[in-house]
């Protein structure tokens, strides 16, 4: 069969094979690049979310405001309410980004599922529900619908109180 091919035809066959091999290589590189982008996006978004939570872990007054606020925003004075609202805004803005990128397939599903479970529980807290009712319009329509569904489907969570803690004095 190959004996009847001219040198030009053999060159065309070899060129076609080289193009196919090149396309396979490009496809593999794109796949690896996409995976690398997904991992980077997940790490960045998870770090942003963690940064929003760090204030609760490392600043006792912020932790007190959070503990009081999740029990109801009426437990806070005006300055505390502002800080509580900013804390939740940072947490939920990071959540909105994670939600968006998960829809786009850029966040590892395992990471997203863990975050979604956490957001489901936090969204059930009385003070968080009050905040969400007041500030939900600050977020995209998609994320509003997502959180509204979490609230509607979730079980109410009684926040933990710390009666011996100075926050409640």
* Domain limits, the chain: 42-168
- Cβ burial of 130 (10 Å; 0-12, 13-18, 19+) is middle
pLDDT for res 40: 67
For residue 127, what are the CA distances in angstroms to 55, 70, 156?
Answer: 18, 4, 12
Q: How far is it, in rounded angstroms, from Cα 148 to Cα 142?
A: 10
End-to-end, the C-alpha distance of the chain in Å comes to: 93
Is the pTM higher than 0.75? The answer reads no
For 18-42, the pLDDT digits (tens) are 666 766 766 666 666 665 665 666 6
Reported as a single tens digit per residue, the pLDDT across 92-131 is 998 999 899 889 888 888 888 988 888 998 999 999 999 9
* 42-74 pLDDT, tens digit each: 666 667 666 666 776 777 788 889 889 999 999
Compute the radius of gyration of the chain from its Cα atoms.
Answer: 26
pLDDT at 155: 72
pLDDT value, residue 73: 94
Between CA 149 and CA 158 the distance in angstroms is 19
Extract the tokens encoding 129: 């529900």
């Amino acid at each position: 069969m190959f004996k009847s091919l001219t040198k030009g035809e053999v060159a065309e066959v070899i060129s076609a094979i080289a193009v196919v091999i090149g396309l396979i290589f490009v496809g593999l590189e794109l796949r690896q690049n996409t995976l690398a982008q997904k991992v980077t996006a997940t790490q960045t978004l998870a770090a942003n979310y963690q940064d929003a939570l760090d204030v609760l872990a490392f600043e006792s007054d912020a932790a007190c405001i959070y503990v009081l606020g999740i029990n109801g925003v009426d437990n806070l004075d005006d300055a505390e309410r502002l800080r509580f609202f900013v804390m939740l805004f940072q947490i939920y803005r990071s959540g909105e980004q994670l939600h968006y990128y998960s829809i786009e397939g850029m966040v590892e599903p395992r990471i997203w599922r863990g975050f979604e479970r956490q957001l489901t529980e936090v969204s059930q807290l009385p003070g968080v529900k009050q905040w969400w009712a007041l500030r939900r319009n600050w977020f995209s329509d998609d994320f509003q619908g997502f959180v509204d569904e979490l609230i509607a489907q979730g079980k109410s969570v009684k926040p933990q109180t710390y009666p011996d803690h100075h926050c409640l004095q």
